[in-house]
Copies of this chain bind each other. A is one copy, B any other.
Amino acid sequence: MQNILILLQEHKIQPTPQRIATTQAVLDAGSHPSADEVWERVKTDHPTVSRATVYNTLNLLVEKGVLKTQIIKEGKVVFDPCVEPHHHFIDEESDEIHDIPWDALKVKGEDSLKDFEVREYQVVLRGRRKKK
């Protein structure tokens, strides 16, 4: 995808080959890959890219607002290409994370929390995907 280059430029990120490959990989990975999952993907096409660079790049993409981290799975941070507010459903069988659109759920009362200044919130749901 040529748009990767534009995306990086728009976010003031020097587009090196390693960064392009990493960004490509994290966006192609479907949803919510971990850093090492992204690294695995990068390595298939660019076997010489180091683990540190993938970690550095993902952290940079978060810093620049291209990705958001989610702390939902035990033991690993996952990266979310959707930086807009939304909710998450975790399928406890497959361990997959599914995005729930912001408007699918309505939370009432978050401004009644007088002691807290809420910067962001989300609903985290767990269960299993219905067999259809």
Residues of A within 8 A of B (CB): 69, 71-75, 77, 89, 91-92, 98, 100, 104-110, 112-130, 132
Contacts and interface: CB of A to CB of B under 8 A. Distances in A.
Nearest to A88: B124
State the copy count for this chain: 2
Given A72-B71, A123-B123, A117 B105 contact: no
> A-side binding surface: helix, strand, loop or mixed?
strand
9 contacts: A71-B71, A71-B74, A104-B109, A107-B107, A110-B125, A114-B130, A121-B123, A121-B126, A124-B124
Given A74-B77, A120-B125, A126-B118, A89 B105 contact: no
Given A69-B74, A107-B107, A120-B126, 4 more contacts: A104-B109, A106-B108, A118-B125, A123-B124
